[in-house]
Amino acid sequence: MTMTEVPAPISQLAEDEKLFADSVYEFADQEIRPLVQNMDEQAKIPKELIQKLFDLGVMGIEIPEQYNGAGASFFHSVLAVEALSRVDPSIGVFVDVQNTLFINALLRWGSEELKGRYFPRLAKDAVGAYALSEAGSGSDAFAMAARAKKVGDDFVLDGRKLWITNGNEAELFIVFANIDPEQGYRGITAFLVERKFPGFSVGKKEDKLGIRASSTCELLLEECRVPQTNVLGEVGKGYKVAMETLNEGRIGIGAQMIGLSKAALDHSIAYSKERKQFGKPITDFQAVQHQIARAATEVEAARLMVYNAARLRDAGQSFMTEAAMCKVFSSEVAERVTSLAINLFGGNGYVKEYPVEKLWRDAKIGQIYEGTSNLQLQTIAKQVI
């Protein structure tokens, strides 16, 4: 298949990956940038913008053509997340969860019946969310309290999920619950839950430091009935769904981090040429030049690590270690580069009138979600020691 055969709007541009990334960035620059400050203040993504993302094709990048998706690669998802995050990391992660977690899990683990039922919706207007975390199972993801029991032809789910990205907008949720706690993680099962299912509801929306437009919500399962056909993968194999999908999700977060790092770097360079001290632009001072040079080097290194992990994934090669490496490194680079941006802006860097304080707030989450930096380092250590 060539990208020119795909009917989605992005397909006309994606033959060349740079052209694809540039086209997504152009959309973000024109359609998203004017909304960024208001979205941050209101902690909400306008419905009209969400539909524009669907119309563009970036909400169904890997969905096969037969279901009206773009039929593109995982790497294209990474490019889209990076390009969007250069303008607003909240939109970057909104698109990331849809593609690298929800759609990716359904591609790999869904039955043909589930794919036929849900892919057309996901390509058109349905937002997906991925519900793994709980109050007592964040880093220890499999210590979950959510339970599922078989009742006739259905499963009945009970429990509470926390920190669920896209929770406010999503119509479809991949929810993990344990059907046999005595078996430990081997009882964990993944279910595809619709928002309209009896017993399912979305609870509190978190008021966050950064990526504020991206909703983070709790989910309530109170005797939520889920058809047996909505089991994703096999009963008792949910841990495999979670572990393998999260490896790809970490590459997506790496893409978000390099996108916002590039934005902070671009703002820093432009402003440093305008800001004058001692009668000349601060870019005339070698100390500033070296700080910017180091930041540019780190951003490029992070980008290459993210791209390498994505290429390995698309090639069907092992990429778990590379995914962990790119996430831990890119998130640390993001924090350093956004902090430098504030310093170079001086007092203006600390006020909301200028863009860099938001990027600094947005960057912090990269070291926390989709596996903390400590967990990534532990994964890496197991492979290299």
Please identify every residue annotated as catalytic: 370
Residue at 3: amino acid letter: M
Distances (CA, A) of 42 to 212, 344, 365: 8, 28, 19
Cα distance between residue 105 and residue 99, in whole Å: 9
Phi, psi angles (nearest 5°) of residue 187: -95, -5
Q: Which residues pair with 276 in a beta bridge?
A: 281
Cα distance between residue 103 and residue 286, in whole Å: 47
Pick from 85, 122, 82, 80: which is nearest to 104 by CA? 122
For the chain, report the end-to-end CA distance as a whole number of angstroms.
41
Cα angle value 301/95/1 (rounded, 5°): 85
Cα distance between residue 127 and residue 172, in whole Å: 6
Residue at 252: amino acid letter: G
Report the helix count and the strand count for the chain, using DSSP H and E.
Answer: 12, 10
Q: What residues have CB less than 8 Å from 29, skipping those under 6 apart?
A: 87
Cα distance between residue 54 and residue 217, in whole Å: 22
For the CA atoms of 152, 153, 159, 161, what is the dihedral angle to 10 degrees?
Answer: 180
